[in-house]
Amino acid sequence: MTTSRECGEASGGIVVTGASTGIGLATARELAHRGFHVLAGVRRESEAEALRAPNIEPVIPDITDRDHITALEERVGGSLRALVNNAGIAINAPVEALPMSEWRRQFDVNLFGHIAVTQAAARAATQQEARSQLHLDGGRVAMHAYGAYAGSKFALEAVSDSLRRELASQGVEAIVVAPGAVKTNIAMDGAVTADRIVAAMTADQNRRYGPLMQAIIAHSASFTTNGTPAGEAAKVIAKAATTRNPRTRYTIGRDAAMLTRLSRALPDRLLDRFLAFLLRPHYATGRKAQVHG
């Protein structure tokens, strides 16, 4: 494996977590098409068999399980080109109404699991002469009811910044890829979780947050339905993972680029109002006045 190779040449394996569906699946296939051997992380044996293809080797790691990560590290050995940290879950609910067990589950998967995999990948990367690249999915804007999800992503971006500075002298890159709306099943999965959380709310919480939660579910469904195709997102990730001189950050979709710029340029109160404006059309008739911001 050598840093001088361009993205069309295979030079070491690439690990993609969360490759069962959506962005992860499309990324695994895109990288395999470019000639790289991909270790594609899935959750079930049935998904592994469906994904198996030339240059794609399914693995079944639970990124919150230490033994699974150890097994993945042993499988990777000393041949790692890149790690694409894509696995994740979305648990959306108001800060007050989200049980602590759900906060911990969100951070276990979206933050601590990724850190554990990254630690294993960093050991493999720094033992090689060639440069590997570690990709972390970051975020900069937290909408209503996205406290836990965005919190885990903000933390992951901070970890990536620190990691990039720590590994720079060793020739290892840490890159943040921040997608906007992408056509995946995450909205459907998130809606099921949100419905479960709403059902467990107290009567007072339902009175204060019920309309907001329904608007969030509707917004998320619209957001992903009209988003960037997963295949297009995969091309951005594949380029970031394999180009000779990668940027430190990439965005996917115009919405992600716009929100990133606005978060830097707008005062907090003005950004609050803008996010409330985006959410307002998704409230049920007669409930638009409930939008806060």
Report whether 264 contacts 271 (CB < 8 A): no
Closest to 78 in 3D by CA, of 41, 24, 132: 132
Q: Is 149 one of the catalytic residues?
A: yes
Query: What would the two tokens of residue 215 be?
Result: 């608007």
91 and 105 Cβ atoms separated by less than 8 Å: yes
Q: What single-letter DSSP state applies at residue 172?
A: -
Q: What is the largest CA-CA distance in the chain?
A: 63
Task: Given the residues 146, 149, 209, 283, select the one marked as catalytic.
Answer: 149
Are 174 and 249 in contact, with CB atoms under 8 Å apart? no
Rounded Cα distance between 82 and 72, Å, is 14
Between CA 65 and CA 113 the distance in angstroms is 8
Task: Cite the active site residues.
Answer: 149
